[in-house]
Structure formats: structure tokens, C-alpha cells
A and B are shown apart, each in its own frame.
Chain A
Amino acid sequence: MFQDIVIIGSGFGGAVMAARLGAHVKTLPKKASVLVLEKGWDGSGQLDPRSDGGPVNAQGNRYRHDLGPDYTSKVSQLFTDPRGTYRRGVPSMNIIAGKGFGGGSNVYDGVSLRAPTESFEQLRDGRRLWPAFYSRAALNPYYATVEQRLGVRRLAWTDQQVPHSQLATKRDYVFAEGCRRIGAAAAPLKLADGGDANEGWWNQGQRFEGRQNLTKNYLLDAQAAGVLMWSGCEIESVAPTKDGYVVKGSDRRGGGKVPFEVECRVLVMAGGAVGSTGVLLRSVDAFGDARSLDPANLLGKQVSANGDYGVTGSVGKDYELEVEAHKGKPMSSFCPTFFAEHKFVLIPFYAAPLYLSLNQPSTLLRPADPAAVGRASTVPAKDGAGEAQRDWGLAYKQRLATFGSRMLTMGCLAIDQCEGEITLARSGTGCDVSWRETSALTEQRWSAACNAMRRIYEALGGEMYLDDYRKDGTVNTAHPLGGARMTERTEGAGLVDAFGESLRNRSLFVVDASAIPAALGVNPSLTIAAVAESIADRLIHGAGTEPLAARLA
């Protein structure tokens, strides 16, 4: 089978590329075909009639919010460190990624902040990490385009005229009060608005129909432009051909696992930081030395967690039920006060009592020393007799009852130093991720964030409990960046250039989180989409690169 353009993945990179390139090729004298291949299913019920995601329900999609735990499996995927994930006492990394048409938008919260100027100006070894084209100013027009398409709007603290979904929640009001008491300040967030602030019950999934999702905009645009979309297609590898590339994978629609190959002239990798990196890792040998995918030996290396670091805590009794952990409301405020000095922002979000009860046993890990930093700086909660409290039984249950209605989770997003790594899984399938060591600078920022969050909890009459990182060095992130990073073509310090094009392979592009060369310090979806918009725009117009039409000729 042949398609002119194949796009692997349908998240913030792939969906934008599909919509833009699909619309463009319709205008060319010689029509060209575009195919999107997605590993997961079509939750929207509109894009792939052959999707095996179950029947389309009354809400117009296949995965209407479902309280069963299998819902999460349909829209997300967990990648872990095989050496010791989850409290095994070694530094490790967990990545949660979106799955299915829409990619990360299936699990994101709609937070849509432009990356700060400083994010683009980061240096390593005296060299700018981003190619020269990229700056906040250069991306601003593309940010605006994405914001318009996704319906991004800034929430407000107060307004009688707007729908409630456009106001910050009570939880954020409490957070703002805590910030105020330590001399910081909170501001309402910008959210991609699906027209409904309700996310349903977060533990097991989010209300599909109420939230913003790429299947409702960019992917619909792509479909309208005639782009073909296949769900359930897992990509094994890609390889060069005489005139382009061949994509090899298996099609799971119809219940089987049918191998397929698609040849194309233009290949866009957009499977996300782990997805794209994994396919490229499996494909390296097929490209050989002359067309090496990874001439600088950087594939999978220097992966950022985007500084994700979360803690859970309780607020004082005065705020019982005010933090409304149960209501599954999106993140709606953040504290940017510390960014100038410490390069992190804080965001409060719904605590999930289930995950608290399961993933922080003895749930309530306290700082051994409030000033302590780094691993093993926690101690489990003790009972009246000084014994470590059990995480089962009557006492535990009663402890949950006193804690549940006062839970508040906070996370920081920071400019970390990209200490993560993605490798092929030892098990032979998929990828492993790892976090071997935290640099002094990252640790300094996380410690400052930890300290700020502790002060906020205490200012609200509560107490902070610490996460896996403080216990044993486990980094949990929903925002992995890098793996196939961009570089200035003349420097060769990455895999793809400022257009996302492979340094040695014409018309092989990587346009997703894996190409982002550094931590952003804010939620990355808007930036990934803006970078994709800029690449699509320049490719279509041949601005600084060979035009798409010429590549297809």
C-alpha cells in the first residue's frame, strides 16, 4: 500500500500536522493522500468506522466516561522503569501517556499556557538547546492559532456573566489564600474549554463528552480534508526506501493482529515522547550509518520530566470539603510567583483518594526533616505508640475518613535538566523509561518547590505528605519531553532540525513531544501544538525548507 504522507500518532503534534497537511494537499494540482496511524482506538466514534473500541453510545462516542477501571486502559498507558519502579529503593521513572485518537488530549486537563521566554533560551555547555528559530516571540502567532482552534480561554475568579465552567473552583480559591499567606499569589489558568468544566470522577476516567479533545477539532478538520485515519495500528518500525519510507506494523481492528506495510514519501513521527522514540529505537539498524537516524547517539537520552513533582497534603479543618477533591474539576489556577527565581510554577489539582491510599502506603509519608532534600528524606506516619502505621485495617480506614475531605494535591512544573532516558524494553516489547540521577540544579528547584508547597499547606492549617521521589527517588511525570530532540542543523546535537526533519533523512519528520529539546516549566500541550503549527506552516510555504509540494512531486 502507498500513501503520500503517513503520520504516526494523533496527539498534539500528529493531529495538527494531519489537519494542516491534509488541508494543504487538497489544494495541490496533483492530489496527495494522507494517512494517520494510531495505536489506540477511536473514542470519538467518528474518525474510524473500523475501530474496535465498542459501539458508539448516546453521547456520540465510544468511551463515554466509564467508572470501570478498564476505561483508563483505553485512553492511557503507563511506562515504568523495570529496575525498581514503585518503592523499590532506586531512582526510577513512571510516565503516564495518552492513547487513542487525540493522544495526550485524552488524559490532559486542558491547561494551555504559553511557555515562558526563558524556556526557549536555555543553554547546555554554552549552546542554546532550542534551534535559533524558536523563541516565545516567534511562536506567539502559532500559539494564538492553536488557542483559537482549541477554544483556550483564561478562567476568572469572579464574573456573574460567564458560565460556571469559566470560573476558578473553590479549591483554587483555597490555594490562592494559602499562596497569599506566604507572600505568593495565584492566578486563574488558561484552559482549552470543552464547554463543560466537569471531568466526572477522575479516579477512573474523565467525561469524554464534556472535555476538550483533539478529536473534536483538529482531527475533525483532518477528516474533513480527506485524511484517512486508522485506529488500532501499532507501529513496529520504519525503514528507508528508494523514494521514501516504509512503515511496518500490525492492525488490530477486526480482532486479529494483521501485519501491514505502508510506503510513503513523507513520514511524520508523532507518537509522543515514548512512542516516537520507541519506534525510532527499533528502526535504527534499518537506516545504517550513511542515513543514520541518530548520528550524535542521543536517541532516547536527555528526556525531560518537565519538572513534574507532586505532593499530597491536608488543609485545615476550616477548609474541610472546600478543596472538593471529589468533584473532578480541572486545574483552574496556578502560582507563578516562584518562576523568576526558582524556575517552577505550582498547580493545585484534585486529589484522588484512591491513588493516595494505594500509592503512598502508610500513606502519609512525612518529611524526616523539613529541610531535608533528596531521597530517603521521609518517614512513615506513626501511631500513638510510635509504631509505623499500617495501611490496612480499621485504623487506616478511620484515618482515611478524617483525611479524605481535606485532601489537596499540588504539583510543580519546573525546568529540570532532562535526566530521563527511554530505552527498548528488556522484555522485548515496548519501552522502558528510567531516571538514573537527579542533577543538583533540578534537586535545588524541587526542594524549593517542596518547601513552598509545605508552607502553603501549613499556612492553611494543614500538613504536607511527600511523594515517591522523596521516599526513594521515583519521578512521576505526565509531561515527558525529548527523546528525539531538535537541534540546530549545523550543531548536530540532536536528531531532527528546526523543522523536525531528520538530520540525514529527507522528509522524515518528528513533530511531537519527543522533539522538544528542553523542559518548558509549564504544561507542554500548547507548545507542542504551536511547534507543529509552525512546522506545518513553514513546510507548506517552503519557508526555509523544501516545500511540501516539491517533496511529494
Chain B
Amino acid sequence: MTGSLTRRQALEALFGLGLLAAGCAAAGDDQAAKGLKMAEQVPGGEAPTTPHADDVAALCDVLLPTERDRTGAIVSPGAAEANVDGVLRIQDFVALAIAQGLLPPLPDSFVARFSVAAEGFRAAANAELAALASRHRPLTAFRDLSRALQETIVRDAFEDDAQKPLLVVLRAATMLAYLGAVTNDVGLRAVGFPPFESFADGLAVSGYPRTKSGRLVDATKEDLAALAREGDLDDYTYNRAPAATPGDPLATILDAAGDLL
């Protein structure tokens, strides 16, 4: 267990401070790829304003902000870098997400209105957000409001049964993009997970032994035990037995095959 810090350090070294690189790579930002320290970042609410393509993009950034340093470079990815747009392009996202338990059941009228083609969903969502914003500042788009006012609107909307469904859907979309590894793994890396071994193949980890540098080990030809002794085996097992519990409490509970008696 004491190796966890070393492991973390090794991962960071391996992946160039993975969470930083993840966001930066997605954003194509060379500066961030150099590895900025978290301490240099500024709170999202004070970050330099980034123009958003539409109100939906602005709202997603409120729900899951991209964090930037004082120069505007990304230090931690948010909804945009996680490609929430890709999730919102999923055909009939609302109905699909409800069916899978990603969303609670929503009012039928809402589902009917938003269970449409992706383009239609986005247009309907933008229209709803425009109406929401105009209540607070007429003739001003949600994306053009200050971050503080945007957050106030979002907070109030979550408390309003009529407005909540859209917020819940967009929140689900941002979280799905961020932690669901739908189109990239930047969110997962941002919360501390190592990168997928192969995103294209859908492999978080192959299940086969690798060295800590990521090289796949041919278990039929290489000496896994020797690699383990050298500390170069990045295995998902410890291959060691946990300490025994005093009194051997399993002796009278399990049979020899490992089933409960």
C-alpha cells in the first residue's frame, strides 16, 4: 500500500501530468502541455471569459467548468474538453439516458419535446435557455451573461420544477462526457485515473501484464516474477495473500471449493 505515492508519481511522469495533458491535448494547447501546476490556476468564476458557441455550451461550462490559469491556458478540462457536444449528438439522448438510468424519469411533456434528433434537441435547449436568460436580462443571451449571473440562474433553475428537467439532462450529458469515456478519457484522467491503454479499443486496461512504462509483457516468454521483483510490473493484482484474520473466521463458513456451506 505504501507504494501508492510512487505509483502516482510514476503515472504523472509517464503521462506528462496526465490530467493536465489530457485537457490540453483536447484543447490543442501547447502551453498547458508543458505541465502547469494546479496552484497556478484561478477559480473558474474568475477565469478569463471564453466565448461559447451557443447557450448550451455556456451552460455546460457552468455545470462542469474548464479551469484555466491566468494566461487562459487550460489546467483542468471541463465539459467542452470532455466533448459534451459529442454526447449531445447522440440520437435521442434523452430517451436513451432515461432508459439506462442516467436520468430520472422526466415529465412526459418534456421527454416528448426533447426526444428529437440531436440538432432539434440543441435548438430546443438553446431556445429554453434564451428564455431563461431573458427573464434576468432582456435581450441578452445566456452565454453573454456574467458567470456569476449564469450560476445564479442555474442554481435557481435547479430549484424550479419547470426548469429543472433541462438542467438535469445537460448535467447528465456533461457527466457522461466527463466520466463515461464516450469520446475521450480526459475527465477520467482529470479525476485521477490513468489513461486508457487503448481508447480506440475501449480498453481501460487490457487485463494482461504490462511494465510500468506501458509495454505489454508476453507472459509466455518473459519472467513475470523477475519483473515483479524489479518493481517493473504494473499488474492489476498484488499476487500476494492478505494478512490472515485472527481466529480464521472462514473455517466454519466456507467449504473447500469456496462456497458457503
Q: Is B50 an interface residue (CB 8 A)?
A: no
Report yes or no: A337 in contact with B253, Cβ–Cβ below 8 A: yes
**CA gap between A116 and B241 in the complex, in Å:** 25
**A96 and B250 form a contact (CB under 8 A):** no
> Does B259 lie within 8 Å of A190, measured CB to CB?
yes
Taking a contact as CB atoms under 8 Å apart, the answer to whether B104 and A70 are in contact is no
Q: Assess the A72–B4 pair: CB atoms within 8 A.
A: no
Whether A164 contacts B257 by the Cβ 8 Å rule is no
Q: Which residues of A contact B8 (CB under 8 A)?
A: 320-321
Contact between B179 and A187 (Cβ–Cβ < 8 Å)? Answer: no
A357 and B1 contact, Cβ closer than 8 Å, known pairs A72-B100, A327-B236, A337-B250: no
Across the interface, name the chain A residue whose C-beta is closest to B258. A154
B residues 183-216 near A (Cβ < 8 Å) are 183, 188, 190-194, 196, 199, 202-209
Interface size counted on chain B using CB atoms at 8 A: 84
1/0 contact trace for B237-261 toward A, CB 8 Å? 1111111111111101110011111
Contact A180 to B245, CB < 8 A, known contacts A67-B181, A70-B96, A160-B239: yes
A163-B249 in contact (CB<8A): no
Tell me the residues in window 65-118 of chain B with beta carbons closer than 8 Å to chain A beta carbons: 65, 67, 76, 78, 90, 96-97, 99-105
* Nearest-Cβ distance from residue B185 to partner chain A, whole angstroms: 9
Among A76, A77, A354, the most chain B Cβ lie within 10 Å of the Cβ of A354
Q: In the complex the two chains form, is B99's CB within 8 Å of A78's CB? A: yes
Q: A318, B194: Cβ atoms under 8 Å?
A: no
Contact of B4 among A82, A165, A322 (CB under 8 A): A322
CA gap between A188 and B67 in the complex, in Å: 43
Q: How far is the CB of B156 from chain A (nearest CB, A)?
A: 12
Question: Please, how many angstroms separate the alpha-carbon atoms of A380 and B53 in the complex?
Answer: 35
A401 to B38, CA, bound (A): 12
Closest beta carbon of chain A to B223's beta carbon, Å:
10
A66: Cβ under 8 A from any B Cβ? yes
Q: Are B237 and A168 in contact (CB under 8 A)?
A: yes
Docked Cα-Cα span, A179 to B181, in Å, equals 32
Chain B residues lying within 8 Å of A403, measured Cβ to Cβ, are: 191
Question: B202–A66 contact, CB under 8 A?
Answer: yes
Residue of A nearest to B175 (CB): A357
Chain B min CB distance to A189 (Å): 7
B43, B171, B199 pick with most chain A CB within 10 angstroms: B171
- The one of A80, A197, A203 in contact with B207, judged by C-beta atoms closer than 8 angstroms, is A197
Which among B204, B207, B208, B237 has the highest number of chain A CB atoms within 10 Å? B237
Q: How large is the interface on A (under 10, 10 to 19, 20 to 34, 35 or more residues)?
A: 35 or more
Pick the residue among B19, B204, B260 that contacts A201 (CB under 8 A): B204
B171 neighbours in A (Cβ, 8 Å): 358, 391-392
Within 8 Å by CB of B182, from A204, A322, A394, lies: A204
Contact with B along A308-329 (1 / 0, CB 8 A): 0000000001111110111111
Residue of B nearest to A186 (CB): B242
List chain A residues, Cβ under 8 A from B243: 177, 180
Smallest CB separation, A52 vs chain B (Å): 16
**A198 near B206: Cβ-Cβ < 8 Å:** yes
**B136 proximal to A (CB < 8 A):** no
Contact of B176 among A69, A157, A201, A210 (CB under 8 A): A69
- Determine the residue in chain A with the shortest Cβ distance to B64: A397
A69 contacts B102, CB within 8 Å? yes
A159 within 8 A of B: yes
User: With A336-B254, A339-B253 given, is the CB distance from A326 to B90 under 8 Å?
Assistant: no
| A78→B100 contact, CB < 8 A | yes
Q: Is B250 within 8 A of A67, CB to CB? A: no
Question: Quick check: B203 and A198 within 8 Å, CB to CB?
Answer: yes
Residues on A with beta carbons closer than 8 Å to the beta carbon of B97: 69
Which residues of B lie under 8 Å from residue A397 when comparing CB positions?
A: 64-65, 76, 78
Q: Which of B78, B194, B224, B245 has the most CB of A within 10 A?
A: B245
Interface residues of A in 205-224 (CB under 8 A from B): 205, 207, 210
A241 at the interface (CB under 8 A from B): no
Find out whether the CB atom of A394 lies under 8 angstroms from the CB atom of B65: yes
User: Are A322 and B203 touching (Cβ within 8 A)?
Assistant: no
With A176-B242, A185-B245, A318-B2 as known contacts, state yes or no: A198 contacts B205, CB within 8 Å: yes
B63 interfacial contact with A, CB 8 Å: yes
Contact in complex: B260, A114 (CB < 8 Å): yes
Residues of A within 8 A of B204 (CB): 200-201, 326-328
Are B193 and A404 in contact, with the CB atoms below 8 A? yes
Among A68, A87, A339, A392, point to the contact of B260 (Cβ < 8 A): A339
Query: Do A320 and B4 contact each other (CB < 8 Å), given the known contacts A210-B207, A358-B102?
Result: yes
Is residue A170 contacting chain B, with contact meaning CB distance below 8 A?
Answer: yes
A393 CB–B CB distance under 8 Å: yes
Q: How far is the CA of A198 from the CA of B202 in the complex (A)?
A: 11
Contact of A69 among B76, B100, B205, B239 (CB under 8 A): B100
State how many angstroms separate the Cβ of A209 from the closest Cβ of chain B. Answer: 11
B235 at the A interface (CB under 8 A): yes
- Interface assignment of B62: CB less than 8 Å from any CB of chain A: yes
Interface presence of B35 (CB below 8 A): no
The reply to whether the CB of A196 lies closer than 8 angstroms to some CB of chain B is yes
Q: What B residues does A434 contact at CB under 8 A?
A: none
| Most chain B CB atoms below 10 A, which of A184, A190, A355 | A355
CB distance from B48 to the nearest CB of A (A): 15
B186 → chain A closest CB, angstroms: 12
Instruction: Flag whether A227 is at the interface (Cβ < 8 A).
Output: no
Q: Which positions in B face A, CB cutoff 8 Å?
A: 1-2, 4, 7-8, 11, 19, 43-45, 62-65, 67, 76, 78, 90, 96-97, 99-105, 151, 154-155, 158, 171-172, 175-176, 178-183, 188, 190-194, 196, 199, 202-209, 219, 224-225, 235-250, 252-254, 257-261
Q: What are 5 A-B contacts defined by CB distance under 8 Å?
A: A69-B182, A164-B219, A174-B1, A201-B203, A357-B175
Q: Which 5 A-B pairs have the closest CB atoms?
A: A198-B207, A404-B191, A405-B192, A86-B104, A116-B260
Other A-B pairs, 18, CB within 8 Å; known A69-B102, A392-B63: A68-B182, A69-B96, A69-B100, A69-B180, A114-B257, A114-B259, A173-B238, A180-B243, A185-B248, A198-B205, A207-B203, A325-B193, A326-B194, A328-B204, A336-B253, A358-B102, A393-B65, A401-B19
